[in-house]
Amino acid sequence: MRIEQLTLTRFLAALIIVVFHYGLTIPPFTHPAISFLFSNIGISYFFVLSGFVMVVAYSKSGKHIVPATYYKNRFARVYPVYLIALLFTILVMWICYFPITWDAVAMNVLMLQSWFPRYPMLINRAGWTLSVEVLFYLSFPFLYNYIYAKYKLVPIAVGVLLFWLLSQMLSSYLSSFTALIEGFTVSHNMIFYFPLMHLNQFLIGNLFGIILLHTYQRFSTNYDVFIVLLLAAMAALLRFPIKYANYHNGFLAIFFALVILMISLNTGFLTKISSSKACVFLGEISFGMYILQIPVHEGFYKATKPFYYDHPYYFFYLYLVVLVVFSAISYQLIETPLRKWIRRIG
């Protein structure tokens, strides 16, 4: 099952992340009426959506997923452009005389950087999320084959929600203290980038994907108003954040999953717009936008440094255009052909 109307949300999440990294000092994103919307939540949405899509995409595979085939398909989907973005970043760092360590390069090539607190923000910083996704991909065939395909919805929901609750309690606790015991400082990187701290979001996505499979035929209708109300509620939570709630690590995961579910069931005006070819294409290139944002920004900055200092506003918007174009080219000429070629192997 492919739900076209969800694809545009990937582009919007990627755009929020890019603005969060590079555009918070650029109008109109500086305006108090909208600035709070561009916070560090896009990654959490991606993790939830990833879990949701995995269940929906593989629901027709029967009661068993062949791990080897699944891993090959996932590798084909993410690694080619990930590696190109990494090499591009290394090239820009070399041109700009930034220090490069071979151990950091190795960790990034192997997608292990988020498992070690020293490495997630070295080289292509956006790549830390792919290191987390590797955990999701490795675990999903076993979750699907031995839990989702064998147990009913209620025990799965209880287990996932309990895991999410315990994860939020731990994440909030660690976020509120700099040390747990004397002589041991809790690393920021271990709290915010360690893969196990984000597994709860993937599982919430899995759960709501299963709920969709149970409800799609009976409950598909116009949910435009309900979706808008949910988005308004999330905006309020961003505008007035809850103390010690770690939004980055999945506090909003259930909200995100509910929005994803409603969009998937929706047959209203919002679905008609987001299912258009242009919107779907923007969603398809969103992975390239996300993983290429840093090397494209640094390369564009290096090539147009005087323009950056004289016209920072124009620089940012021109950078967005360049990023979208690069992402579209990457999708058409790199991601899609290599994905098809890798999937044909074996």
Q: Identify the pLDDT of residue 184.
A: 45
Q: What predicted TM-score, i.e. pTM, was given to this entire model? A: 0.92
How do strand 184-185 and strand 179-181 relate by DSSP bridges? Answer: antiparallel
**What's the DSSP call for residue 187?**
P
Q: Phi and psi of 82, rounded to 5°?
A: -60, -45
Ordered by start, the domain boundaries in the chain are 4-344
**What's the DSSP call for residue 4?**
G
pLDDT tens, N- to C-terminus, the chain (346 residues):
678 889 999 999 999 999 999 999 999 999 888 888 888 889 999 999 999 999 998 887 667 888 988 999 899 889 999 999 999 899 888 887 778 888 999 999 999 999 998 889 888 999 999 999 999 999 999 999 999 999 999 999 999 999 999 999 998 888 776 544 444 444 778 888 999 999 999 999 999 999 999 998 889 999 999 999 999 999 999 999 888 888 889 999 999 999 999 999 999 999 999 999 999 999 999 999 999 999 999 888 888 888 777 888 899 999 999 999 999 999 999 888 888 888 787 6
What single letter denotes the amino acid at residue 243?
K
* Cα–Cα distance for residue pair 188/39, rounded to 1 Å: 18
| Torsion sign across C-alpha atoms 200, 201, 205, 211 | positive
Q: Identify the pLDDT of residue 177.
A: 65
- Dihedral angle at the C-alpha atoms of 12, 50, 338, 294, nearest 10 degrees? 50
Q: Identify the pLDDT of residue 304.
A: 86
Q: Identify the pLDDT of residue 307.
A: 77
* DSSP bridge pairs for 179: 185
Q: For the chain, what's the residue count?
A: 346
* Chain centre distance of CA 208: 17
Q: Concatenated DSSP letters for 234-247?
A: HHHHHHSPPTT--G
Q: Which residues contact 14 (CB under 8 A, 6 or more apart)?
A: 42, 286, 287, 289, 290, 293
Does residue 160 sit in helix, strand or coil? Answer: helix
**What's the DSSP call for residue 331?**
I
* Cα–Cα distance for residue pair 263/94, rounded to 1 Å: 44
* Cα–Cα distance for residue pair 184/165, rounded to 1 Å: 25
